[in-house]
């Protein structure tokens, strides 16, 4: 049983860390570990904050995912890897991705990204422009079928000028 003073200190650290944005349990656990709290204290703090609904991986994944889609227009693959890196369980991620990408179809996001990038590539020859666009969309985490459809739409329409 952790002593009350250590628990109080860990709670204060955790609440301060959560005041900036929602966090996954894993992120919070890593943060408290860096603050040199013991494992029992960290676990008790996580249990306490979960009970108060201050920490919820499902909610965190949904908020983080929506933010990343809106701001960075990323694909499922990249968002999956980011959430995995934040310690969210695979089952939680898969459910969240289905919800998020029903509201924000990947094809639409990819075409938006491609249009924006296409403008910056206007000085390149067509073949290189397409290759650079494909690489860009791959880094954004879109699957190859969507990437090639997006490039085909833009290249086939003479870029975005006709859209």
Q: What is the pLDDT of residue 157?
A: 63
Q: What is the mean pLDDT of residues 35-48?
A: 95
> Of the ranges 10-19, 64-73, 119-128, which one carries the lowest mean pLDDT score?
119-128
Confidence of residue 159 (pLDDT cuts 50, 70, 90): low
Confidence of residue 154 (pLDDT cuts 50, 70, 90): confident
Long-range contacts of 11-16 (CB under 8 A, 24+ apart): 11/45, 11/48, 11/49, 13/37, 14/45, 14/49, 15/49, 15/54
Distance set, CA 73 to CA 5, 31, 117 (Å): 44, 28, 12
pTM equals 0.86
Q: What is the mean pLDDT of residues 50-77?
A: 96
pLDDT of 160 over the 90 cut:
no
20-41 residue pLDDT tens = 999 999 999 999 999 999 999 9
Q: What is the mean pLDDT of residues 59-87?
A: 96
Q: What is the mean pLDDT of residues 127-135?
A: 93
95-111 residue pLDDT tens = 999 999 999 999 999 99
Give yes or no for a contact between 39 and 1, defined as CB atoms under 8 angstroms apart.
no
Protein fold of 4-51: Arc Repressor Mutant, subunit A (1.10.10)
């Amino acid at each position: 049983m952790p002593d009350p003073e250590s628990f109080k200190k860990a709670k204060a650290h955790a609440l301060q860390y959560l005041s900036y944005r929602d966090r996954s349990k894993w992120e919070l656990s890593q943060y408290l570990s860096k603050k040199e709290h013991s494992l029992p204290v960290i676990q008790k703090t996580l249990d306490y904050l979960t009970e108060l609904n201050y920490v919820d991986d499902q909610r965190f994944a949904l908020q983080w995912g929506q933010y990343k889609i809106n701001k960075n227009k990323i694909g499922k693959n990249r968002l999956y890897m980011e959430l995995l890196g934040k310690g969210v369980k695979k089952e939680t991620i898969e459910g969240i991705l289905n919800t998020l990408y029903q509201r924000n179809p990947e094809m639409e996001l990819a075409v938006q990204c491609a249009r924006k990038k296409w403008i910056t590539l206007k000085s390149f020859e067509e073949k290189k422009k397409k290759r650079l666009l494909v690489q860009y969309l791959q880094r954004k985490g879109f699957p190859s079928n969507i990437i090639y459809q997006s490039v085909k739409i833009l290249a086939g329409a003479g870029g975005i000028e006709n859209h």
